[in-house]
Structure 1
Amino acid sequence: MTPAQAAQHQVDSHTEPATPEEGYRRGLSARQIQMMAIGGAIGVGLFYGSGTGIAQIGPSLIACYAAAGIVVFFIMRALGELLTYRPTSGSFADYAREFCGPFAGFVTGWSYWAAWVASCMAEVTAAGHYIAFWWPSVPVWATAAVALAVLFAANLVSVTLFGELEFWFATIKVVAIIAMIIIGVGVLTFGFSALGDTASVTHLWADGGFAPHGAWQSLTALQAVVFAYAGVELIGLTAGEAENPKETLRKAINTLPVRIAVFYVGALIILLSVLSWTEYSPGVSPFVQVLAGVGIPAAAGIMNFVVLTAALSACNSGIYSAGRMLRGQSARGEGPRAFKGLSGRQLPLPALTLSVLVMGIGVVVNAVSPDKAFVYITSVSACAVLWTWSIILVTHLRYRSKVRAGLLPATDFRMPGAPVTNWIALASLVFVVVMMALSSDTRRGLYVWAVWFIALTIGYQAAKRRPPQSALTQQ
């Protein structure tokens, strides 16, 4: 077979996967996926975690978000090129399996499942804290349990309802951030409200400097920044349920730089100009602090509702992702067969149920250690996200090498600067791991990850000894 024939064979085999036999219904519209992409880039890491980051490293948090945003864009463009080559609901695990071998696919699939399970634990933790704004006497673990149960019920109805919920969740977040930016610009420009007397862009460098504790200390916030961006890759899992995956996903990825510039970097610049970084408190949403300081009636309560919505949105996405990744692993013989079935509504009911039950561990963690729960859980989630992002970059490198050899077709949605940008992004992710190892709190996440990797190695050996299964169609 000539290289051209081999490339054509790959086109015929992979470009349009037979998604109907996977059993999923294409119930996600372009409107929903576009807003899901926006919502995936705006989560609790910004609304809640940024308060701790600001208190720790000051205005230099802006540079951390900007630098990490560039790396995330390269990762998403690598994923976009892979999705254009072959859209698949298995996404990262499928590409790892194809280009790096079955073990890499096994580890990636289960690790991404673990990433979302841990992420949901963090999101319901944050939701519990937000609800305490109105009912401080109610334990955080109790409200976290109720939030998890409600979202689980919503995911059992249909993928269309999930998409619609995400559309409105994301809309609320976008409108709130834009409103906060407009209000902040008004305070800075016209000096209204009590904050107007002291608000100034000079806060970005005057109160101890742009990096008040030094550049090295600023790098300790990278783990939290990684968690804040976790979820942008979610759109890769929607390929099996999107109405027009290639066109829709391409548009969603191309608008990522704008979303990062406005919703992360822009919002932080406004927050740190309206108030000095020394005024922010760890564990308190900076958005709530600013709007409360402006004196808008019920502003703090309104923004608290918005950040609660952000937490519920991220958890809703997490339940969706974890269920589909677990079902995919099981259907390929890489997990318990009991979790590969679909309900009458074409939803992965067994996989969703197990995922939510495991997420319930986060409720227990909140009951045992409510003060440290968010840091512990996010460090574990960040480890799994770092693995997933690294796999995307490595599989893209392998794909490009096969394209150059004439074994696979090229796409018209190429990652800019590859392979140099691949290696820059990979080096950045390794650096984040090093910084996590230097912190006693985030180091625990690496310990858990090491144990998890050993468990996956054992699980993979056990899975190999099982008799082979047929494709996803057998339920």
Structure 2
Amino acid sequence: MTTKENKTPTRGLKNRHIQLIAIAGTIGTGLFLGAGKSIHLTGPSIIFVYLVIGALMFVLLRAIGEMLYQDPNQHSFLNFVSRYLGTKPGYFIQWSYLLVVVFVAMAELTAIGTYMHFWLPGIPVWITEVVVLALLTGLNTLNSRFFGEAEFWFGMIKIVAIIGLILTAIILMFSHYHSGADTVSLRNISDGFQFFPNGLSKFFESFQMVMFAFVAMEFIGMTAAETENPRTTLKKAINQIPIRIVLFYIGALLAIMSIYRWQEIPADQSPFVMIFQLIGIKWAAALINFVVLTSAASALNSALFSTTRNLYSLSKINGDKILKPFTKFSKSGIPLNALLCTAILILLTPFISMIPAISNAFVFITSVATNLFLVVYLMTLLAYLKYRKSNDFDPEGFVLPGASFFVPIAIGGFILIFISLFFFKDTVVPAIGSVIWIVIFGLITFFRKTKTAE
């Protein structure tokens, strides 16, 4: 397929696509598989943790939304870091984010191979990984509308699963159903409630776990330039995020803890599997495996889309000759070379998976990548504060109310979460790794000669 220069992408994403993408970005495998571990840490007070982290992320998204509303033609919200903090911080954060998302995509592809092995135990995992990556890459070459359709249905599957869980809890509540020795009721949450049932340490440990569940929520900031009505659609999608957090996350957690006393929920088992088995669905494990498979495929699909646009923006802004091929668009309005490069990088996953000795290192790398999301969020909010003082600020636009109060709070919150990573054994090594990356690549960026796009 031939490529050509094109200043604007094809606006193939419709309102329903963006709405479902926004929902999909707030629901991950962390909820379906990790809810038991989160609840196990601090009990019902985990709901408060979700509300706090959700509020921080909403401030971040409103800040991103305000800048994109003022300039909806940007392919990546990270471009604003270059614009308001300088080319060197922009270069650092865009490359960091690109590598972060590639590592996340590799982790999701590994997860897909594992989930597929549940049904196809006789087929080598690497074969299913290659096939799935080829299918999603092919889908992304067509048009942004096809990407939107895929995300629409991926998101729909997750929504149906959560709504099914919540409705199940409501039905069991009204029928006074007994789960074990207890009756299904909200009293299972309120009776003997303690804010720190396992101590203050476990409560704070839950913050970093919940933070990771919200990672990639900012992905909606990569889709604005490819919607039919970017300002209207973006504004609506971001404003509805708090409702979605309450409905899908808080609703699911309340449903789980009303059916089972939280002390009886094992940390190493999905509560979704337990509940669907309780109501007589013998194939509950297969059902949840299908849901988390689509969730991982959704994350991989989003990573392909996001990294492709970020590589295009990075190539366009920094003007490096070696990156010039990634500024080309295909006839269907897709940065094809950037997409293929991204797919090739992710294609390293099967080879990594076949090397037993590197498995721990791979987990380490993906953990470091997740930590670096916090750095991206902090830099984005600092860029936003600069935007508010610039001539670009539009007081009639999609303005974040109380920005001078809420943004510093969000920055402080993200800093505290990052610092907390150094105090828990499961996160201290990846936290140190992320600091090493910041120092080494930060120095490389600082001494790099600045280039300007032609």
Please indicate, yes or no, whether the TM-score normalized by the shorter chain is above 0.5. yes
Q: 1:394 Cα deviation (Å)?
A: 1.3
1:267 to 249, 252, 274: 252
Provide the TM-score with structure 1 as the length reference: 0.85
- Please state whether the residue corresponding to 1:415 is helix, strand or coil: coil
Moved more, 72-81 or 49-58: 49-58
Q: 1:441 Cα deviation (Å)?
A: 2.8
Q: Which residue of 2 aligns with 1:380?
A: 368
Q: 1:53 Cα deviation (Å)?
A: 2.2
1:26-425 correspondence to structure 2 within 5 Å: 26-135=11-120, 143-192=128-177, 197-204=182-189, 209-333=194-318, 336-337=322-323, 338-363=325-350, 366-367=353-354, 368=356, 376=364, 378-402=366-390, 408-425=393-410
Give the distance between the partners of 2:31 and 2:51, measured in 1 at CA. Answer: 13
Residue identity matched to 2:159: V
- Please state whether the residue corresponding to 1:411 is helix, strand or coil: coil
Contact 1:76 / 1:233 at 8 angstroms: preserved in 2?
A: yes
Q: Which residue of 2 aligns with 1:473?
A: none
1:9-28 correspondence to structure 2 within 5 Å: 21-28=6-13
Residue identity matched to 1:225: V
1:445-456 correspondence to structure 2 within 5 Å: 445-456=430-441
Give the distance between the partners of 1:198 and 1:433, measured in 2 at CA. Answer: 40
1:439-450 correspondence to structure 2 within 5 Å: 439-450=424-435
Asked if 1:469 corresponds to 2:453, the answer is yes
Contact 1:224 / 1:378 at 8 angstroms: preserved in 2?
A: no
Contact 2:312 / 2:335 at 8 angstroms: preserved in 1?
A: yes
Give the distance between the partners of 2:152 and 2:268, measured in 1 at CA. Answer: 27
Percentage of identical aligned residues = 35
- RMSD (Å), alpha carbons: 2.9
Residue identity matched to 2:281: I
Q: 1:463 Cα deviation (Å)?
A: 5.6
Closer/same/farther in 2, CA of residues 354 and 210 from structure 1, 3 Å limit: same
Give the distance between the partners of 1:352 and 1:416, measured in 2 at CA. Answer: 37
Q: 1:436 Cα deviation (Å)?
A: 0.9
Closer/same/farther in 2, CA of residues 399 and 307 from structure 1, 3 Å limit: same
Moved more, 222-231 or 238-247: 222-231
Q: 1:459 Cα deviation (Å)?
A: 4.9
Aligned residues: 447
Deviations 1:257-312 (A, max 9, x none): 00000111111111122123344444543212221222135344223212211111
Mind listing any 5+ residue stretches in structure 1 that lack a counterpart? 1-19, 471-475
- Please state whether the residue corresponding to 1:177 is helix, strand or coil: helix
Give the distance between the partners of 1:56 and 1:160, measured in 2 at CA. Answer: 41
Deviations 1:352-376 (A, max 9, x none): 2222333345545555379868964
Give the distance between the partners of 1:377 and 1:386, measured in 2 at CA. Answer: 15
Contact 1:333 / 1:469 at 8 angstroms: preserved in 2?
A: yes
Contact 2:178 / 2:184 at 8 angstroms: preserved in 1?
A: no
Residue identity matched to 2:426: D
